[in-house]
Amino acid sequence: MTQETASLTETPMPGANTRKVFIKTYGCQMNVYDSGRMADALAVDGYAPTEVMEEADLVLLNTCHIREKAAEKVYSALGRLREHKKARAAEGKEFMIGVAGCVAQAEGEEISRREPAVDVVLGPQTYHRLPQALQKARAGERVVDTEYALEDKFEHLPDPTKVIGKPRSVTAFLTVQEGCDKFCTFCVVPYTRGSEVSRPLSQLLTEARRLVDSGVRELTLLGQNVNAWHGEDEQGMAIGLGDLLYKLAQIPGLARLRYTTSHPRDMDDRLIEAHRDLRMLMPYLHLPVQSGSDRILKAMNRRHKASEYVALIERIRSVRPDIALSGDFIVGFPGETDQDFEDTMNLVREVNYAQAYSFKYSTRPGTPGADLPDHVAEDVKTERLARLQALLLEQQQAFMQSMIGKTIDLLLEKPGRMPGQLIGRSPWLQSVNVDAKSSQIGDIIQVRITAAGPNSLFAEVAEG
């Protein structure tokens, strides 16, 4: 951390005259983490977060480029913000608009051209420059900063545990790796997030210890390909994500570890051993496969076969039998035949997922998949997706029902809707509601599951 950043983080939050920022986050957990870090940077610049867009002095759209028509959705939101900016200007009040994240990276100057009301455009690697960008914008400069930063942005961000007024949580995200070198033919991430970059071990351990010292009990490690993380230990020896998990597990006060999102090609022996040895590494793994057809996997440039994926799952389950699997699926990739789709359905039946995300393929301009022949008709994609989602939902509901009667450890995270009710997460990432008047947020208690809803569980405190 630079000396300048250290001094900024100890600056008290301003009082009644504090500017307010509203951050709209699209997409994945990485964007949730990034939004939090942008809020940290803005806090030391005099901004307090608000949940009410109309009372904000600054609105930031932290965008995602994964979903269909992502850019158009952002432009639609910017059109509404433009009208609000005009109304605020008529009242003589400042109202600034910023676009960050992957759409900002992909669109760049086009955002300023199409929507002149935008003051600041920042890519995922430059949001640590946000305070300086806003200062330039106030001076009349329209800022577009989508170059890949030469400096380490994490070294220039304030310590989140020292930002006065920042709400504390018992769970936290910790980005350990960014970018992707896999170049799946359907994916824009290598073009919007850049090449795979791993944060240094010492930096991660320092941030993790600070989070735990501030009350965090569960850490989720994040990365576009989180299990591609690599670094050097204190002796200069090469290490991977498994080794990082072993080191984090030694931090006093840390009770739980998770990580997402993984790639099958980077699931090595050491990481599997961590699932065997570390009880604090939760038994839930998000491991996308995308398709069960070897022909489609090759067209997607996934570089693994369906049988290799299933064999990998069997290895993981052999060391951690209680592990729950989550995955991602794309249906209707160019050239997908009925048999290719049936191969996917068969893989789903064989693996038996506790949770999964599934989507129709949609073209991403600039990706190799956009230029492939034999695009699947939209009605065929819709029918296939409905069949796949019905099977995945059946498996998810069966997994939820299987929890009834079990006694589990529950990390209490937040108040529930009813008096005395608290909500926590099971080891398998399910939301659990429990009447626990004698407990408090941050406690890990034993509960017995009494009922299961579509997306959450209900429990009572276990006796004894």
Coil, strand, or helix at residue 110? Answer: helix
Give the span between the Cα atoms of 366 and 106, in whole angstroms: 10
Q: Is 102 annotated as a binding residue?
A: yes
Q: Could you tell me how far CA 338 lies from the centroid of its own chain?
A: 33
Gap between the Cα atoms of 452 and 71, Å rounded:
38
Residue 430 annotated as part of some ligand binding site:
no
User: Residues near 206 by Cβ (< 8 Å), separated by ≥ 6?
Assistant: none
- Strand order from edge to edge, sheet including 47-49: 47-49, 19-25, 58-63, 96-101, 120-122, 143-145
> Is 97 within 8 Å of 62 (Cβ atoms)?
no
Q: Residue 104, class by beta-carbon neighbours within 10 Å (0-12 exposed, 13-18 middle, 19+ buried)? A: buried
Query: Residue 396 is encoded by which pair of tokens?
Result: 């998810």
109 assigned ligand-binding residue: no
Q: Please check whether residue 412 is in contact with residue 445, taking contact to mean a CB–CB distance below 8 angstroms.
A: yes
First to last CA, the chain: 47
The set of residues, in sequence order, having a beta carbon less than 8 Å from that of 272 and lying 6+ positions away, is 242, 315, 316, 319
Report whether 149 contacts 128 (CB < 8 A). Answer: yes
> Per the annotation, does 223 bind a ligand?
no
The response to whether 28 counts as a known ligand-binding position is: yes
64 is in an annotated binding site: yes
CA distances from 245 to 203, 208, 254 (A): 14, 11, 12
Tokens 């040895």 correspond to 277
DSSP codes of every residue in 279-310: TTB-SEEE---B-S-HHHHHHTT--S-HHHHH
> And the tokens for 371?
């230029």
d(CA 456, CA 410): 13
For the sheet with 324-331, list strands across it: 284-286, 324-331, 355-360
Determine the Cα–Cα distance for residues 45 and 189; give it in Å rounded to an integer: 30
210: left (phi over 0), alpha (psi -120 to 50) or beta: alpha
Peptide bond preceding 261: is omega within 30 degrees of 0, i.e. cis? yes
Classify 160 as helix, strand or coil: helix
Which residue numbers belong to the known binding site for [4Fe-4S] cluster?
28, 64, 102, 180, 184, 187
Annotated binding residues, written as ranges, equal 28, 64, 102, 180, 184, 187
